Amino acid sequence: MTKNSKRVFVILAAIIIVFSAIAFVLPLPKNNVFWVSYLFGIISIVVQIYVLKTAFSGTISVKSKFYGFPIAKIGIIYMIIQLLFSIIAIVLSQYIPMWVVIIVFVFMFCAALIGFIVTDAARDEIEQQDEKHVTNIKCIQELRSKVHSLILQIENAEAKKILSELSDAFNYSDPVSNSSLVEIESELKVMVDELQQCVIDSDIENTKRMCKKISITLTERNRLCKLNKAH
C-alpha cells in the first residue's frame, strides 16, 4: 500500500467518524429513515476507495493522472452531497416519509454511477486517441532522427549537403501518419536503411543516389498525406 493510499484511507476513516458522531450524538429517534440515511452516507464514503482507485491506479504520466481528476471529482461531489442530504434527513427523520428518502438517495447514487461510467469511458477514449497519435508520428520521427545522425557520419562535402537538405525535408514533413501511408512509409524505412549502409560504407555516389530517391518518395508521401486530410 502506497503512502497516498494510506492517506486516503485515513481521510475516509476520519470522515466516517465525524459523520457517525453527528448521526449518533444528536438526540434523535433511530427510526428507519435514520438508518437508511446513515447507510447511504456510509456507502458514499466507502465507494470513494473504488472511485479513487479507478481514477488514479496504474497511472504513470502526469497526463494520465490529469485525466483521472474528473472521475475523482464526480465521486467526491457525490459523497459531499449525499452526506449533507443524509444529515438533513437524519435531523428531520420524524417528518420525512421513508419513500421520499429512498427515492432521492437511490436517484443520487444512480446519477453518480452514470456520471462515473461516462467519464471513465471518455477518459479511456482520450487515452486511446493519445496513444494512437503517438504511434502515428513515431515513423517520421524515427526517420528524421536517423537521417539527421547520418550528416555527422559523412565527410564528403557534397554528400553532406545533400543529406542536410534531405534532413530538412523530413523536418518540414507532416509527422502524422494514417492507414493510406503505411506502404509508402515502409518503403521510406527500407530506403533510409539502405542510405545508412551507404554512408557506413563511404559509398558517396550511392549515398547521393539514395538521397534523391528518398526525397522523391518523401514528396509523394507528403502529397498523399495532404490529399488524405483534404478528404
Whether 84 shows a pLDDT value over 90: the answer reads yes
Given pLDDT bands bounded at 50, 70 and 90, which one contains residue 97?
very high
Separation between Cα atoms, residue 30 and residue 37, nearest integer Å: 11
Q: 48 with 9: CB under 8 angstroms?
A: no
Confidence (pLDDT) at 136: 72
Confidence (pLDDT) at 82: 95
Whether 175 shows a pLDDT value over 90: the answer reads no
Separation between Cα atoms, residue 10 and residue 1, nearest integer Å: 13
Confidence (pLDDT) at 134: 52
Confidence (pLDDT) at 130: 57
Which own/partner pairs from 203-212 qualify as long-range (CB within 8 Å, at least 24 positions apart)? 204/154, 204/156, 204/158, 204/159, 207/154, 207/156, 207/159, 207/162, 207/163, 208/158, 208/159, 208/162, 211/159, 211/162, 211/163, 211/165, 211/166, 212/162
Q: How far is CA 20 from the centre of its chain?
A: 37
Given pLDDT bands bounded at 50, 70 and 90, which one contains residue 104?
very high
CA atoms within 13 A on the CB side of 130: 10
Q: Cell match 501511408: residue? A: 181
User: Which parts of the chain fold into alpha helices (H)?
Assistant: 3-25, 32-56, 62-91, 98-151, 157-171, 182-200, 204-230
Q: Cell match 459531499: residue? A: 80
Tens digits of per-residue pLDDT, 3-31?
777 888 899 999 999 999 999 988 888 89
Percent of the chain at pLDDT > 90 equals 41
pTM of the model: 0.58
The amino acid sitting at 155 is E
